[in-house]
Amino acid sequence: MHKILLIGSTPPPIGGVTIHIDRFLNLYNENSKFNISVFDIKKKAIFQNNNKRDSIFSLFFLSRIIHIHVSNDYAKLLFSLIGKLLFKKVIYTHHNSIVRNKFIFKLMYKLCNKVILVNDKEIEKSLININKTEVIPAFLPSYRFDKLPNNLEKEIKNYNQIISTNCYLYALINGKHVYGFDLIIEAFYKLSEERKIQNTLLILVDPSNTTKEFVNGLLKQKAFQTNKVLLVTENLDFVSLIKKSDITIRATRTDGDSLSIRESLHYNVPIICSDVTARPEGVVVFKNDDSDDLSDKILNILNNKKNFKYKHIDYGKQILDVYDELIGV
């Protein structure tokens, strides 16, 4: 078996890149060709799905491929150089839809055998070396599911329809909430006022508990008829909530290749997203910052329920195919 060394971070904290690495390690390490390890640069720890615990030095020397998932410019350059000096095949995954430092980005192409882009729609074509590029979205399905909190499960059972969304913290862009909770609440309020939806629960998930004051301000003096807005501030498995939802919403005012979008599509749950960036096939988009358009899209989906089927693609297998190509298996 060929050793593969991934360099990046694993949960906690929970984020798109850490989840991607954790899922890739746990979903694809049981294969006949590759033995995958992760060097967590933040925890200074090695993660492997076997009983053996190699040292970081032995992993660097014995691994055929060094696969870098690091955003820090100096760190990714350092590990790329180490890989080249040790005559390893080097892969860099760019986990962003934009390029902040064009010089470093071009340099990574020179140092690496392959560059994987999770989304190439927003990147200048002149920066991309087609011969060294693979476009593979970061999404990998979850390999474990946690039960929702009992109080939330009971609340969900009281309603006929569930709409869910989430954020990781209270953050602003141009003075507006990045995750668009204000847009979602306004659209939900409009549908409630016009009595176009009944007995529907809108769940806003914020495990950081940083949006409470903001959300309370938005809900002030608003009546939602038979519907309800619920802010959940505890950690939960959002995938488990997606699976219980009729619609998920991502009203972000800026975005990349969102994990929650891919998860909704994977579990055939309709998802509505702002049009701030290129979205995957199957997503229903609304005009950014337009709560009226969002409310129209919500109502259309709820009134035209049908089996929502999305073509499932094994992106992890595509990464393994890149390994195959570089090693010549």
Query: pLDDT digits over 64-117, tens only?
Result: 999 999 999 999 999 999 999 999 999 999 998 789 899 999 999 999 999 999
Same domain, 173 and 31: no
Question: Is the separation of the CB atoms in 274 and 291 below 8 Å?
Answer: no
Same domain, 221 and 299: yes
Same domain, 199 and 320: no
Indicate the number of domains in the chain: 2
* Structural domain includes residue 247: yes
Same domain, 25 and 73: yes
Neighbours of 110 (CB within 10 A): 10
Rounded to two decimals, the pTM is 0.78
Strand partners, 286: 274
Question: Is the separation of the CB atoms in 145 and 183 below 8 Å?
Answer: no
b or e along 68-96 (b: 16 or more beta carbons within 10 Å of the residue's beta carbon)?
bbbeeeeebbebbeebbeeebbbbbbbbb
- pLDDT tens for 145-157 read 899 999 999 999 9
* Structural domain includes residue 142: no
CA distances from 142 to 57, 174, 271 (A): 31, 34, 18
Same domain, 230 and 179: yes
Closest CA to 202 of 251, 148, 160, 165: 165
DSSP class of residue 148 equals P
Same domain, 133 and 157: no
Strand partners, 160: none
How far is residue 149's CA from residue 183's CA, in Å, rounded to a whole number?
27
The residue type at 245: S
CATH number for the domain including 172?
3.40.50.2000
Q: How confident is the model at residue 124 (pLDDT cuts 50, 70, 90)?
A: very high
51-60, 103-112, 150-159, 179-188: which range is least confident on average? Answer: 51-60
Same domain, 214 and 157: yes
* Structural domain includes residue 182: yes
Can you tell me the mean pLDDT for 165-181?
A: 94
* Structural domain includes residue 309: no
Q: How confident is the model at residue 259 (pLDDT cuts 50, 70, 90)?
A: confident
* Structural domain includes residue 17: yes
* Structural domain includes residue 62: yes
* Structural domain includes residue 232: yes
Pairing of strands 284-286, 271-274: parallel
Its domain, for residue 279, covers: 150-303
Q: How confident is the model at residue 8 (pLDDT cuts 50, 70, 90)?
A: very high
Report percent pLDDT > 90 for the chain. 81
